[in-house]
């Protein structure tokens, strides 16, 4: 019986110790998550700019208040390639909203 109690205590201790994440491991996991999320966000952003640069850039820049903003007219004066490059420059690879990465810190 004594051996059984000792075995249970040892098993619970090992599970508890192995389940704890060190601060360095936690930071490494969070950083990897942020890197993956940022990469995915930028890829999707670039794809959106290539698909519809005027609508996407204006939606991001005006936070959805495109109508009456003058933004589409500004973009539509440019050739398509310039629209795409401006869209990418203004909306992608600059910053990622915290909402996109906050799940990495839970």
- pLDDT in the model for residue 96: 80
Mean pLDDT of 4-22: 62
Q: What is the pTM of this model?
A: 0.66
- pLDDT in the model for residue 66: 85
> Would you list the domain boundaries of the chain?
50-106
- The tokens of 59 are what? 């939606």
* 71: Cα within 13 Å, side-chain hemisphere: 20
Mean pLDDT of 87-106: 85
Using CA atoms, how far apart are residues 34 and 101, in angstroms rounded to an integer? 6
- pLDDT in the model for residue 10: 55
Per-residue pLDDT band at 88 (split at 50, 70, 90): very high
């Amino acid at each position: 019986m004594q051996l059984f109690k000792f075995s249970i205590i040892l098993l619970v201790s090992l599970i508890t110790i192995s389940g704890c994440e060190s601060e360095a491991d936690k930071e490494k996991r969070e950083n990897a998550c942020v890197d993956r999320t940022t990469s995915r966000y930028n890829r999707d952003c670039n794809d959106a700019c290539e698909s519809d640069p005027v609508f996407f850039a204006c939606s991001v820049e005006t936070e959805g208040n495109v109508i009456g903003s003058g933004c589409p007219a500004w973009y539509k004066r440019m050739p398509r390639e310039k629209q795409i490059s401006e869209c990418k420059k203004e909306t992608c690879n600059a910053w990622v909203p915290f909402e996109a990465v906050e799940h990495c810190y839970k």
